[in-house]
Structure 1
Amino acid sequence: MNSGGGQRPRALLAGAPRRWVRLLPWGVAFVLCVALLPTTIHVLGNDYGLNGGVASTLAVAQTAPLLLAVVRPLRAWYVIFTADVAGALAMLAVGLEERLLWPFPPMEIVGYVGLCIALGLREPRRTLVLVWLATVGAGIGLASAAPHDTSGSTTLLIVLSGAVLVLCGALRERYEAQRRLAEQETISEAERGRRTLLEERARIARELHDVVAHHMSVITVQADTAAYRLDGLPPDVREEFTSIAATARESLGEMRRLLGVLRSEETRGELAPQPGLERIGQLVEATVRAGVPVEFTPCDADVPEVVGLAAYRIVQEALANVVRHAPGAPAQVSVSGSTPEAASGDGARLTVLVVNGPPPAPPAAPFEEDRTGHGLVGMRERVRLLGGELDTGPLPDGGFRVAARLPVTLPVTLPVTSPVTGNDSEGAA
């Protein structure tokens, strides 16, 4: 709420969501000015015997800065505090009847308390303490110069101003603490989304390493055994095969070092072959055993290992979401291939479709209290890596649909991974 140096000051409550709350400080300041200005002129002139010009000047100086207090309360305090002290001295100079309150008449106390509200809602704690000490010092100093006992108004002003400063300062600090907490929660949520995305990318990279390492091993073996399998190879061709084998082995070593960076201690046991299309049926059977009726349309198309792995993981994540968030809901899993002609010249594609209906009854409690959204993040990253298309979203009947189209013929250069955005951290179905 406190405006920083060099920035245009904001009015009190300017960040409130409702318009009437934003206008409230201006309304209160305007009402105080309209009510206190003529009252102060009348009281100072008629009751305290001040000259009309002096009374009007003091009244304007004591009330008009209340409008400034909405934006710059500390500057308004300088003017009003000086005017109140000057008014007390002026009243003392013309003579003071014992029946009159001095050094602070009632209308000055009302205006000063309103100013303290603005100070408490804007200024830091140190400034509020100094303001109150100045108020106490001025009140005690003026009271000591009074011709008779006038401590009543001084005590009232000190008590009221201190209470208002403490209360409004506490409200401001509470608001600041809640605002900082909300900012930290927003930052933490963004960091969790980014961490989820990076973890999923590392997982995909580990799995792709196994696929690529297999192909590199085949290249190494074929290059090493070429001289024995093929008769009559010229010496330069033998040297070429030897160079290919050496380069392949060096690449395998570099990939192992890369995998050592990507693979954490918790994943050192991942040595099983990566699954493909042929394993999707096992996923469906396991899901059926978990109580989810699934209709499965298999596909025996010959696709690259990377594409088969992506299809398997997409089905795996989609069925896992059904078990978590729609237990007992019927599901359909379909994997089908298209020829280049059927794909309108866009190349052969593998279509993966997982659709589930609404659950028979809402679960009594969520299966996961802390939903990280790994499912859709992983699907999106795998499909983007292959240059395919992914469509996910709820259905009108309360179900959910996951549809992916993966190119069977992979591009020579894979798409560059885009920066982390808020959409990447979308929650699971």
Structure 2
Amino acid sequence: MSTGSSSPGTPPLARLRALVRRVVPAPARAPLHALGVALATPTRPGVPLFADASSVWVRRLPYFVACVFVAVLLPVTVTVLTQEYQGNAAVAGVLATAQTAPLLLAVTRPLQAWWIVLSADLVGALVLLGADGTPGQQWPWTPMAVVGYLALMLAVGLREPRRTLIGVWLVTGVAGWLCELIAPRFSEPIHVVLFVLSGVVLLLTGTLRARGDAQRRLVEQETISEGERARRTLLEERARIARELHDVVAHHMSVITVQADSAPYRIPGLPDAAREEFGSIAASARESLAEMRRLLAVLRSEGTEGERAPQPGLDRVQQLVEATVRAGVPTELSLAAELGDVPQAVDLSAYRIVQEALANVVRHAPGAPTLVSVRPDEDGVWLTVLVVNGASEERGSRRTPVEDGGTGHGLVGMRERVRLTGGTLDTGPLPDGGFRVAARLPLSTSAAASTKGSTS
């Protein structure tokens, strides 16, 4: 029984997320989530921090924070330099501006802002050597300089690569060490504190940036993999269709070869020119069969023995429906009593379309009432294949494929088969939550030619 608390094996990050969901109200979670995504997204050089965030307030947050730091640190720095360190007011104003105003630049170019701030801090340390109030105060870095420097480290860590962060950290330590060598009598542990705190800030923000880089690369790789997967699926389905059509075409070519070879014996008094013509037809047919067998050997290099079995047709649709019913899907079949002369390619494609559609119903809409209709139109020119299912009623039912011979490529295979035969395919969801697959396949070459001409 669930008690609402996380189990001991739950990762700390998952526990924190669960705690946030319980404590933070739902309206406040969206801004927090947007801020988290922005922190995990690396920023390109010259582009403001969080520029890729979806939320407007997150994109403006760096400017707001920088303005707050400048508005607070600038007057406080001037006051402390003039009253505590007893420095010149004009010089204090220039130093305070040079040490705080570059924080605004840090939103877009933090490394350049760091050079300005570091130089201003070093100049300020040298100027304070001659101030009357420096003895007994923090030197070489004033408390305000430490706060502003750490705020600058946040921007640097979120923008720059790891090598640059290490360089910034080491230069910070070297600058403090040089100041201690110049005036050891004024030196305070403040430069050690700044060295340690800046390293911690750079480590945390650098780690966050590295995580964002890794996530971005992962998303790019997933996008590429998804495109490659779709392309591979399409190619596999086309190869499968080619293997199946070989059996259909090979049958007709074999009939042509036999008829051409036997024509001189079946037709008495055949002229010599006609005998040669039939012999040429038979030779061409045998050569075509040989070429097709060589092509089939390539296409079946990764095939299975099951693909060498006789290809199914509409005479096995009843078996598909019975298998679907056994899988827990109530299915009704409406099959025309007289289908007439159905071309083998259309016969095979119609069967595969019904097979894939029923397999999808079993997988994605278990228990949904389904109707299968296969019948020609009034003129006998087109064959209509219709598979319609309602909304799923048995979410927990088993999901067993209708037959092991399915391609497993769903709508991709249907579209390829329909396109190959010159038909049309219409698929899509229904208002009641069901799904519809409707295919129109030509029963004559004239119908297929008219369709191809209208779509070209």
**Normalised by the size of structure 2, how large is the TM-score?**
0.83
* Structure 2 residue identity aligned to 1:409: S
Matching residue of 1:44: 81
**Counterparts of 1:16-31 in structure 2 under 5 Å?**
16-31=53-68
Q: d(CA) in 2 for partners of 1:68 and 1:414?
A: 63
The answer to whether residue 318 in structure 2 is matched with residue 285 in structure 1 is no
Deviations 1:179-209 (A, max 9, x none): 2222222222222222222111111111111
Matching residue of 1:394: 429
Matching residue of 2:70: 33
The answer to whether residue 375 in structure 2 is matched with residue 336 in structure 1 is yes
3-state secondary structure, aligned to 2:410: helix
- Structure 1 window deviating more from structure 2 (294-303 vs 129-138): it is 294-303
Q: Structure 2 vs 1, CA of residues 311 and 269 (structure 1 numbering), >3 Å: closer, same or farther? A: closer
Q: Structure 2 vs 1, CA of residues 85 and 307 (structure 1 numbering), >3 Å: closer, same or farther? A: same
Residue among 278, 281, 294 paired with 1:244: 281
Deviations 1:264-312 (A, max 9, x none): 3442442332222222222223333434332212123222111111111
Matching residue of 2:211: 174
Deviations 1:10-39 (A, max 9, x none): 111111221111111111111111111222
The answer to whether residue 332 in structure 2 is matched with residue 298 in structure 1 is no
Residue among 384, 405, 412 paired with 1:351: 384
Q: d(CA) in 1 for partners of 2:141 and 2:318?
A: 89
Q: d(CA) in 1 for partners of 2:334 and 2:400?
A: 28
Matching residue of 1:224: 261
Pairwise CA distance, 1:358: 2.8
| Alpha carbons 2:327, 2:399 under 8 Å: kept | no
| Alpha carbons 2:42, 2:209 under 8 Å: kept | no
Q: d(CA) in 1 for partners of 2:366 and 2:205?
A: 52
Matching residue of 1:424: none
3-state secondary structure, aligned to 1:101: coil
Pairwise CA distance, 1:387: 2.1
Matching residue of 1:310: 349
* Structure 2 residue identity aligned to 1:256: R
The answer to whether residue 100 in structure 2 is matched with residue 63 in structure 1 is yes
The answer to whether residue 439 in structure 2 is matched with residue 404 in structure 1 is yes
Q: d(CA) in 2 for partners of 1:104 and 1:241?
A: 103
3-state secondary structure, aligned to 2:189: helix
* Structure 1 residue identity aligned to 2:416: E
Q: d(CA) in 1 for partners of 2:441 and 2:303?
A: 30
| Alpha carbons 2:329, 2:362 under 8 Å: kept | yes
Matching residue of 1:82: 119
Matching residue of 1:153: 190
- Structure 1 window deviating more from structure 2 (174-183 vs 263-272): it is 263-272
Q: d(CA) in 2 for partners of 1:386 and 1:198?
A: 17
Deviations 1:137-175 (A, max 9, x none): 111110232252532321221121111111111111111
| Alpha carbons 1:196, 1:373 under 8 Å: kept | no
Q: Structure 2 vs 1, CA of residues 85 and 26 (structure 1 numbering), >3 Å: closer, same or farther? A: same
**Counterparts of 1:365-380 in structure 2 under 5 Å?**
374-380=409-415
- Structure 1 window deviating more from structure 2 (270-279 vs 252-261): it is 270-279
* Structure 2 residue identity aligned to 1:37: L
Q: Between Structure 1 and Structure 2, how many residues are aligned?
A: 405
Q: d(CA) in 2 for partners of 1:267 and 1:119?
A: 58
Q: Structure 2 vs 1, CA of residues 180 and 366 (structure 1 numbering), >3 Å: closer, same or farther? A: farther
- Structure 1 window deviating more from structure 2 (282-291 vs 388-397): it is 282-291
Matching residue of 2:174: 137
| Alpha carbons 1:390, 1:405 under 8 Å: kept | yes
The answer to whether residue 398 in structure 2 is matched with residue 361 in structure 1 is no
Q: d(CA) in 2 for partners of 1:176 and 1:79?
A: 28
Structure 2, unmatched stretches of 5+, are: 1-40, 402-406
Residue among 379, 382, 390 paired with 2:417: 382
Q: d(CA) in 2 for partners of 1:52 and 1:154?
A: 25
Q: d(CA) in 2 for partners of 1:134 and 1:38?
A: 28
Pairwise CA distance, 1:96: 5.0
3-state secondary structure, aligned to 1:332: strand
Matching residue of 1:234: 271
Matching residue of 1:191: 228
Q: d(CA) in 1 for partners of 2:238 and 2:46?
A: 45
3-state secondary structure, aligned to 2:312: coil
State the superposition RMSD in angstroms: 2.4
